[in-house]
Amino acid sequence: MRRRHALLYIRSAVLAFAMLGGAAQAADQEVVLVPNRVIYPGETIALSSLKEVTLKPGKVRPDAVATMADELDGRIAKRTLLPGRYVPITALREAWLVDRGASVQVVFASGPLMISAAAVTLEPGAAGDVVKVRNLDSGKVFTGTVMADGSIRVGAI
């Protein structure tokens, strides 16, 4: 009789431990964001087009996949993103600050010297991108870096 009570006590302790371990494991599961509808190339990603999915126990999130809202919100899809699939970081880009054919201000600064000119972009770009531009006066093509205010910064060689 005592042995039966002892076995029953051990079984209940093992069951309680397993349940606690499962609860801790569920808390450790990773949550990722996936599209809840098809997102087409060139479309801005909004939080309303994403849903949170909890990964199954033992399933590991692949590397180079966007998991947080700030990695996805406001970014532009470079390729079609399918519902329920991971969103690779390589499938996203920042929104363009300057579009192709836009008139921009080009600035050269070296110490106290500052020269500015008008130019037309030959390719789109986000902040920090190197783009080709054409000087409106001379027609010369050169490269510069897109700044946060939408101007193009060029430097000395």
CATH code reported for the domain at 103-154: 2.30.30.760
Q: What is the pLDDT of residues 84-134, one digit of tens each?
A: 999 999 999 999 999 999 999 999 988 899 999 999 999 999 999 999 999
Is 50 exceeded by the pLDDT of residue 153? yes
Ranges of each domain in the chain:
2-93, 103-154
DSSP string of 38-73? Answer: -B-TTPBP-GGGEEEEEPPTT--PPSSB--SHHHHT
Q: What is the pLDDT of residues 46-79, one digit of tens each?
A: 999 999 888 888 777 778 888 888 888 889 999 9
Tell me whether domains 2-93 and 103-154 share a fold.
no
Residue 67: the pLDDT is 83
The fold for domain 2-93 equals Type Iii Antifreeze Protein Isoform Hplc 12 (3.90.1210)
pTM recorded for the entire structure: 0.64
Is 80 exceeded by the pLDDT of residue 6? no
Q: What confidence tier does 23 reach under pLDDT thresholds 50, 70, 90?
A: very low
